[in-house]
């Protein structure tokens, strides 16, 4: 495709995929990057330097292709999410982005949600593990080593909603009350109404991805997190379809918790993944009280949003929490945090979340050695107490670094660890 305003780097090759969506990654791939809004202008370039250093230290290279979304795109294209950006990620398959601002209430809808939907990046994956030296409110933060799989395209995030006071919302009210038999279920007066679709298709592909990940990475369990006791036809359906995947699509390597106890007295076959389920509110407290019992979680969109932020807080907060979005033959890395506009352009915030999102990207590309180097170098930098403000304010002593200085230290550590 011809791009309108962005340029494809002259050097470097494209990542391709086979018909099953497995990536084929050259030694010098072209990787699109969106720095993002607010603090994205600081953490984006910082991550770029670190990832490039890790690629070079393992005998490869990355050729970056700058893309624009949010404020930078409005200046260039007069559009929040230009076709150039969406199509380049579609075509180049693996990309990384910083945070994008979403106005609350009025204004445009989330660009992050739009990007995930347009590219059908149906899973948001958030590994949550503790790095040595990162302050945490927990007594034993190292007990957490979880990977959250959050459905990305449906649930109340589908964007099907109507504003109070509009003709449309009154039509929906009438339909729900008169035709669907829920008379009196909605209070009189102004009301906003949203729809929560949870499909068999959307659930099963998400749960499949979580189970595959657990099998490939020697994990012990996959927990389906739902609120099915209250929302029987959406959240309980998520649980039931999730169990169907576990029971019907895998052999002995996957076993449900019920079968495990009913047929094997709790004795799991060696290397098997146990699939169980928890109600979301219980899960939120188990995260705190039984942290080490959870491994891989699979969740509908809203549960996943709340739960992965809460889990992130237990291992040190938004400054270090990484994430990635997965679709068929596509991957878009992005940190969990937002654009924190009050810190924009101050070269102040922690770039670790964006750097560690890049680590997930490298591993997704099959560059496990480069990914491990990134993780080790970030950990080493924090362990030596050379940290940004967010960590500095929570530890005794230590050296407070700017975003760019922290990235330089990580690069130095990559070079000495390689
Ligand atoms: P936020 O941008 O994540 O910031 C909330 C707070 O978290 C900051 O004030 C800061 O806390 C801390 N924080 C975030 N990133 C940090 C970093 N890299 N290093 C250190 N501390 C960090 O959340 P928000 O203020 O709710 O959202 C701002 C905008 O971002 C909104 O428009 C929202 O829609 C958008 N957003 C975008 C994404 C995305 O692009 N994927 C995700 C979430 C939110 P302290 O001030 O206490 O130090």
Q: Tell me the pLDDT tens digit for each residue of 224-249.
A: 999 999 999 999 999 999 999 999 99
* Burial class of residue 265, CB neighbours in 10 A (0-12, 13-18, 19+): exposed
Instruction: Give the model's pLDDT for residue 329.
Output: 94
Question: How many Å apart are CA 161 and CA 159, to the nearest integer?
Answer: 6
| Percent helix, percent strand, percent coil in the chain, to nearest 5 | 45, 15, 40
CB count within 10 Å of CB 178 equals 10
- Return the pLDDT at 201: 98
Task: Report which DSSP code applies to 178.
Answer: I
Q: Check pocket membership of 357 for ligand 1, CB cut-off 6 A.
A: no
Rg (CA), the chain: 22
User: Is residue 305 annotated as part of the catalytic site, yes or no?
Assistant: yes
pLDDT score for 105: 63
Residue nearest to atom 8 of ligand 1 (CA): 340
Q: Is 100 in the pocket of ligand 1 (CB under 6 A)?
A: yes
For the chain, which ranges sit under pLDDT 50?
none
Structure tokens at 217: 């990475």
CA of 110 to the centre of ligand 1 (A): 14
Q: Confirm whether 157 is a catalytic residue.
A: yes
Answer yes or no: is the C-beta of 102 below 6 A from any ligand 1 atom.
Answer: yes
Quick check: CB of 403 below 6 Å from ligand 1?
no
Given the residues 37, 84, 155, 305, select the one marked as catalytic: 305
Residues with Cβ within 8 Å of 210's Cβ and at least 6 positions away in sequence, in order, are 149, 222, 296, 297, 298
Which of ligand 1's atoms lies nearest the C-alpha of 110? 34
Active site residue 227: yes
Residue 83, CA distances (Å) to 30, 37, 97, 239, 409 in order: 18, 18, 16, 36, 36
CA 287–ligand 1 middle distance (angstroms): 22
Q: Is 337 in the pocket of ligand 1 (CB under 6 A)?
A: yes
pLDDT at position 2: 80
Ligand 1 atom 22: residue of nearest CA: 319
Q: Say what the pTM is.
A: 0.92
* Long-range contacts from 368-372, C-beta under 8 angstroms, 24+ separation: 369/58, 370/51, 370/54, 370/55, 370/57, 370/58, 370/60, 371/54
Is the CB of residue 111 below 6 angstroms from any atom belonging to ligand 1?
no
79 is catalytic: no
For residue 110, the model assigns a pLDDT of: 83
Beta bridge partners of 98: none
């Amino acid at each position: 495709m011809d791009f309108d305003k962005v340029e494809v780097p002259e050097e470097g090759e494209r990542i391709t995929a086979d018909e099953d969506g497995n990536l084929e990654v050259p030694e010098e791939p072209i990787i699109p990057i969106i720095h993002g809004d607010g603090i994205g202008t600081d953490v984006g370039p910082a991550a770029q330097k670190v990832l490039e250093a890790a690629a070079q230290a393992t005998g490869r290279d990355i050729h970056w292709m700058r893309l624009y979304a949010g404020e930078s795109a409005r200046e260039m294209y007069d559009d929040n999410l230009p076709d150039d950006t969406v199509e380049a990620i579609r075509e180049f398959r693996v990309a990384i982005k910083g945070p994008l601002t979403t106005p609350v209430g009025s204004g445009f809808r989330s660009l992050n949600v739009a990007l995930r939907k347009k590219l059908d990046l149906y899973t948001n994956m958030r590994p949550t593990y503790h790095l040595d030296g990162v302050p945490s409110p927990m007594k034993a933060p190292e007990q957490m080593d979880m990977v959250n799989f959050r459905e990305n395209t449906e649930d109340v995030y589908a964007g099907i909603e109507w504003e109070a006071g509009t003709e449309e919302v009154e039509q929906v009210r009438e339909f729900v009350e008169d035709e669907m038999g829920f008379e009196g279920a909605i209070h009189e007066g102004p009301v906003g109404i949203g729809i929560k679709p949870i499909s068999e298709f959307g659930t099963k592909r998400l749960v499949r991805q979580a189970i595959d990940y657990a099998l490939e990475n020697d994990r012990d369990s996959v927990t389906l997190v739902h609120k099915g006791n209250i929302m029987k036809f959406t959240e309980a359906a998520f649980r039931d379809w999730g169990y169907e995947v576990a029971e019907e699509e895998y052999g002995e390597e996957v076993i449900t918790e019920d079968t495990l106890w009913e047929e094997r007295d709790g004795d799991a076959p060696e290397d098997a993944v146990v699939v169980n389920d928890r109600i979301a509110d219980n899960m939120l407290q188990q995260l705190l009280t039984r942290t080490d019992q959870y491994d891989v979680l699979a969740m509908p969109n809203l549960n996943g949003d709340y739960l992965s932020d809460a889990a992130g807080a237990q291992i040190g907060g938004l400054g270090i929490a990484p994430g990635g979005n997965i679709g068929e033959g596509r991957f878009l890395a992005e940190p969990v945090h937002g654009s924190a506009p009050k810190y924009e352009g101050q070269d102040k915030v922690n770039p670790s979340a964006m750097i560690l999102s890049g680590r997930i990207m490298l591993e997704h590309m099959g560059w496990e050695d480069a990914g491990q180097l990134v993780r080790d170098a970030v950990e080493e930098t924090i362990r030596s107490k050379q940290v940004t403000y967010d960590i500095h304010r929570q530890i005794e002593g230590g050296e407070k670094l700017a975003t760019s200085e922290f990235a330089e230290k990580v690069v130095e550590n990559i070079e000495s660890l390689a």
